[in-house]
Structure 1
Amino acid sequence: MYFRPASAVTALLAVLAGCASLTESTEQSVLVQTVLDHREIAGVGCVLYNDVGKWFVTTPGRVTLRKSAGPLRIDCQKAGKGWAYEKVESKVDGNLWGNLALTAGVGYVIDKNTGAGYDYPATLTVVMHPAQDKEEGPPPAPGVTLY
């Protein structure tokens, strides 16, 4: 059997082309904005967290976070104005599906663990609840500090 280096290189490139870990960042910049009574409200402190980290932002503002296959949780509060607690699911991007097909699942596992094959929405609009409704809302997750 005759070995063709060009064929081997082509096959290797085809396999690696589907790997989001090699072609995409594991970080993502998102814009966080808060709305109360159908109007944007500024100066709200928010904590964003997923299974790989925790980030802080004052709205409206941008924050760079680590992507994950898991959900992104958002806790926001502004004294005397209101509070919010939301969960945003990550979405699989197109590279992850190509990776599954081209690498027989190996690249899929890597991308799922690094978060490279997933994205959160670029703009996160958090709907605030008025301050007087605080007792009716869900409690913050354990270990989360609201400010």
Structure 2
Amino acid sequence: MYLRPAAAVALFASLAGCASLTESTDQNVLVQTVLDHREIAGVGCVLYNDMGKWFVTTPARVTLRKSAGPLRIDCEKTGKGWAYEKVDSRADANIWGNLVLTAGVGIYVDANTGAGYDYPSILTVVMRPAQDKEDGPAPAAGVTLF
């Protein structure tokens, strides 16, 4: 008699911890670019991770697919500046619920779908002046954005 309600509570508790079931795999972010401590508009940027690639002209919002992996951002405005940056995703609160409630199975699912991870909601890309690119070799991709 008490077994059925207890089983229902256990089922709902385990589902509450799984971000894949309770959260979207998409995230809306604002991308803005800064050069010499001032916002610069009209910069073309490509954002990409292991889930896809998105194009944006800053400043703008873009909906991208979340991932457990990093988000790469490549931006350039001819004659003005350029940037290559990397943003790491962070596990959200639901990922820890998965560890406790699903014995780790939910973490594996969330890592594969990206649902248990988030990028910062505002991505401020610091541009380098265009002449810096001409003075030396192209920088290594993956400079970490703070």
Report deviation, 1:3. 7.1
Instruction: Output the CA distance in 1 between the equivalents of 2:58 and 2:140.
Output: 21
Kindly provide the amino acid, as one letter, of the partner of residue 107 in structure 2. Answer: Y
Kindly provide the amino acid, as one letter, of the partner of residue 83 in structure 2. Answer: A
Structure 1 stretches of 5 or more lacking a match? Answer: 142-147
Give TM-score, length-normalised by structure 1.
0.91
Instruction: Output the CA distance in 1 between the equivalents of 2:141 and 2:12.
Output: 46
Q: Which residue of 1 aligns with 2:74?
A: 75
Q: Which residue of 1 aligns with 2:17?
A: 18
Report deviation, 1:6. 1.0
Query: Which aligned pairs between 1:19-38 and structure 2 lie closer than 5 A?
Result: 19-38=18-37
Kindly provide the amino acid, as one letter, of the partner of residue 98 in structure 2. Answer: N
Instruction: Output the CA distance in 2 between the equivalents of 1:70 and 1:81.
Output: 30
Q: Which residue of 1 aligns with 2:123?
A: 124
Q: Which residue of 2 aligns with 1:144?
A: none
Instruction: Output the CA distance in 2 between the equivalents of 1:80 and 1:64.
Output: 28
Query: Which aligned pairs between 1:82-97 and structure 2 lie closer than 5 A?
Result: 82-97=81-96
Report deviation, 1:7. 1.1
Q: Secondary structure at the match of 2:8?
A: helix
Instruction: Output the CA distance in 2 between the equivalents of 1:46 and 1:60.
Output: 10
Question: How many residues in Structure 1 have an aligned counterpart in Structure 2?
Answer: 140
Kindly provide the amino acid, as one letter, of the partner of residue 83 in structure 1. Answer: W
Structure 2 stretches of 5 or more lacking a match? Answer: none
Report deviation, 1:137. 3.9
CA RMSD of aligned residues (A): 1.5
**Percent same amino acid at aligned positions?**
75
Report deviation, 1:116. 0.3
Report deviation, 1:139. 5.5
Instruction: Output the CA distance in 1 between the equivalents of 2:77 and 2:24.
Output: 32
Q: Secondary structure at the match of 2:27?
A: strand
1:69-128 CA-partner distances (Å, limit 9, x unpaired): 000000000000010000000011000011111000111100010000000000000000
Kindly provide the amino acid, as one letter, of the partner of residue 46 in structure 1. Answer: C
Kindly provide the amino acid, as one letter, of the partner of residue 63 in structure 1. Answer: V
Verify: 1:50 aligned to 2:49, yes or no. Answer: yes
Instruction: Output the CA distance in 1 between the equivalents of 2:122 and 2:15.
Output: 30
Superposed structure 1 runs of 4+ greater than 2 Å apart: none
Give TM-score, length-normalised by structure 2.
0.92
Instruction: Output the CA distance in 2 between the equivalents of 1:140 and 1:49.
Output: 12
Contact 2:45 2:76 in 1 (8 A): yes
